[in-house]
Amino acid sequence: MAQPAPAGSLTEAEVRARILTFTNPSEEPVLTSADLDILIDMSKIIDYNGVWPTMTGWIESYNYNLGIALGWLIKATRIADRYLFMDGGTMLSRNQYYDHCMMLYHRFANKAGPSGFKLVADRHLALMSIENNADVNATYA
């Protein structure tokens, strides 16, 4: 039976708000609304019950730090070919702003932790039949 989402789980709207707050999407290089939709989609994770986001019964679960990190990575790729960035009379070289974007990407990626895989039991153990469970338990005891 599926368990409810853990306390503190965020909704899609709350994840969008966090990504908006921490990526500053209206500042150059701009993140579009379509970019934000992609970031939210890429932030979806396996829920508390082990249900994948593409499966029926998935309970909203997100890694918003991953979405924020990827937002800064998009900004870094868009700024990489520019030579100067001017703001209020201050001139920054391309490398300074690119380095800034990459620093924030790494900061939020480290907060996001590993993603993109599901931990499963040892392959050999998973392939053994139920009748052999007693042997398996004795072997690993």
Per residue in 16-69, pLDDT (tens digit) is 999 999 999 999 889 999 999 999 999 999 888 888 899 999 999 999 999 999
> Has residue 121 been placed in a domain?
no
User: Strand, coil or helix: what is 87?
Assistant: strand
What range defines the domain where residue 16 resides? 12-114
Residue with tokens 């469970």: 133
On whether the pTM is more than 0.85, the answer is: no
pLDDT: which is higher, 110 or 137: 110
If one counts every other C-beta atom within 10 angstroms of the C-beta of residue 135, the result is 10
CA–CA dist 6, 128 (Å, integer) = 32
> Has residue 136 been placed in a domain?
no
> Has residue 7 been placed in a domain?
no
Among 27, 23, 104, 111, smallest CA distance to 71 is for 23
| Domain count along the chain | 1
Per-residue pLDDT at 80: 77
Per-residue pLDDT at 9: 78
